[in-house]
A and B are shown apart, each in its own frame.
Chain A
């Protein structure tokens, strides 16, 4: 996790489940093949009904036809982001597509855990209903140390919840790096 993350917002609503993040039919590509894994970016958020994709206006595809990188860096969600299956392909797909952080009102726990232990994306929580305030395409700046989000476009600032217990795992680069640093696993 970088100290500062900046880029454009992509805004979604409540209960974005893992089938919307990466539909089950696409869970077949190799995760460690540099070419094949681009498919996870290509189909990221392809399960979101288009009228709810890119709020508040909707009908904004996350990935443009033929691409595997999105033009967005931070996803704004509502409640219960990442509910549903345990597929690690979900936070992985967002990472492949170029997402570095998600900011939501709450997470389903397996998605949250996968995001951290694999260090795919930084999952921040907030008490603000940001999905009602931030607009898809707004320019954002996230200070991951102070947990402050700035909306450059709207000139607003929000204090996010501290990361808590998981910060050292995320900042260390995931559960394996953490276990090696803490002496639980031998260094490679």
Chain B
């Protein structure tokens, strides 16, 4: 039977020759990831259900990455990290990345690939909706809640319904002013915030073939903003080179059969896509940057799992080189590796860090920070009626803090250009 990549991965992990959309199957889990917001609840349910002295099903397959509420005085948030710490010690977990130690990483969805935990053909569950980011590596990756995660901790299995696949074909060479973020905002704007609910979103075409892993991660990161269950990019040499540089573990690559069935096929010529924003208060509230150019802002934010990777900061630095920002501009490298890279990587004769400092940006420590608001003392949090342009992935009411704030989502180019001008600005102005 012809199958898509997602169907093949789920068939293999359920011990079947074939599955089709709508099948409910129990699958074996290759990696479970959790963090400080959902780990404590997950561990609590695990102990309630399997006993206070229970051991996790396979400690080599559990990754625990505190990243959400790290640099805060909030005592409850700090208690959550202590709960992770105690559990990691009790279970003797090899892959726990503790705060305040050289092992600390930062944002889990960026740290996972860096550490070689995202591999083609595997099943990854995480207690975070943006776990779908890892679909960029040709694996089935999706977010789950505490109860499901506790079930996996005890059994190594979980039931899933096999999703239909929607295919998104991008053709053409990326214009210099365009980024992966513009493509995914265009897709979400077209199909809506529930346009892919329960479905897999497959990204393919010559544009995707030419993309770096980080660009593919940006696409897959935001499938959840269209309601998608998982995103997927077929693995290729770019994928396997990236993964093999970070892990010795064996993996298997799956590809769509030529006659695989799709829910729908959506084609885009990237030369027809403009720099794009999502206006307040929904990721599908699409507008071309040119339509909202001139909108007054008082904050810019570059960070998060979708917009805080090294390539995102290089892009922002290309725009900010020799410029000064006109509004408060917050820079949050997703991980410690990214923070280290911005101090080494140069744009022309200056490091990315120098460019940001000379432009007058504020640079924070690696974590999720203000992407999801968080405790009131969180770096960059919107505590009032700010109008912010951000490289993050959600702009629902109050997502970055106050319900009175407004958030525009955009690419690092657009955010950097807008920071320099103080109003929403088309990055094409900087490339002419």
Residues of chain A whose beta carbon lies under 8 Å from any beta carbon of chain B: 15, 17, 19-20, 23-25, 27-32, 47-49, 79-80, 83-89, 106-110, 113-114, 117-118, 165, 174-176, 179, 184-185, 188
Contacts and interface: CB of A to CB of B under 8 A. Distances in A.
A165 B129 CA distance: 23
A31 B38 CA distance: 10
A88 B38 CA distance: 8
B148 A114 contact: yes
A30 B198 contact: no
B398 A118 contact: no
A29 B69 CA distance: 13
A80 B77 contact: no
A106 B227 CA distance: 11
Nearest to A114: B145
Majority secondary structure, A binding face: loop
Interface string B142-181: 0111111001001100010100000000000000000000
Given A84-B396, A88-B147, 20 more contacts: A17-B394, A19-B398, A19-B399, A24-B372, A25-B376, A27-B37, A28-B76, A31-B41, A32-B48, A80-B227, A85-B129, A86-B128, A86-B145, A109-B227, A110-B224, A117-B148, A118-B145, A165-B161, A185-B154, A188-B49
B77 A28 contact: yes
Contacts of B227: 80, 83, 108-109
Interface of B: 24, 26, 37-38, 40-41, 44, 48-49, 69, 74, 76-77, 79-80, 126-129, 131, 143-148, 151, 154-155, 159, 161, 193-194, 197-198, 224, 227, 229, 282, 372-376, 394, 396-399, 403
B144 A113 contact: yes
A113 B145 contact: yes
Nearest to A165: B24
Contact of A25 (B24, B44, B154, B373): B373
B193 A49 contact: no
Given A19-B394, A19-B399, A20-B397, A179 B40 contact: no
A117 B160 CA distance: 12
Given A25-B373, A28-B69, A84-B394, A179 B282 contact: no
B147 A15 contact: no
Nearest to A89: B41
Contacts of B148: 113-114, 117, 175
A1 to B, nearest CB: 15
A80 B394 contact: no
B373 to A, nearest CB: 5
Contacts of A31: 40-41, 44, 146
Given A88-B38, A88-B41, A179-B151, A47 B197 contact: no
Contacts of A188: 49
Q: Report which residue of B38, B145, B155, B198 has the largest number of chain A beta carbons within 10 angstroms of its beta carbon.
A: B145
Q: Report which residue of A24, A30, A107, A176 has the largest number of chain B beta carbons within 10 angstroms of its beta carbon.
A: A24
A110 B41 contact: no
Given A113-B148, A114-B145, A108 B403 contact: no
A153 B396 CA distance: 33
A12 to B, nearest CB: 12
Q: Which 7 A-B pairs have the closest CB atoms?
A: A88-B145, A28-B76, A114-B145, A86-B143, A80-B194, A118-B147, A86-B129
Given A25-B373, A27-B37, A28-B77, A185 B155 contact: yes
A107 to B, nearest CB: 8
Given A15-B282, A185-B155, A23 B398 contact: yes
Contacts of B143: 85-86, 110
Given A23-B398, A28-B80, A109-B229, A87 B197 contact: no
B141 to A, nearest CB: 12
Contact of A47 (B49, B77, B151, B397): B397
Contacts of B144: 86, 110, 113-114
B147 A114 contact: yes
B272 to A, nearest CB: 28
Nearest to A81: B194
A108 B197 contact: yes
Nearest to B44: A32
B375 A175 contact: no
A109 to B, nearest CB: 5
Given A17-B396, A32-B48, A86 B127 contact: yes
Contacts of B373: 19, 23-25
Q: Report which residue of A47, A49, A83, A175 has the largest number of chain B beta carbons within 10 angstroms of its beta carbon.
A: A83
12 contacts: A19-B397, A24-B374, A25-B376, A47-B397, A83-B194, A84-B224, A84-B394, A89-B41, A107-B197, A113-B148, A165-B24, A176-B49
Nearest to A120: B147
A179 B155 CA distance: 11
Contacts of B374: 24-25
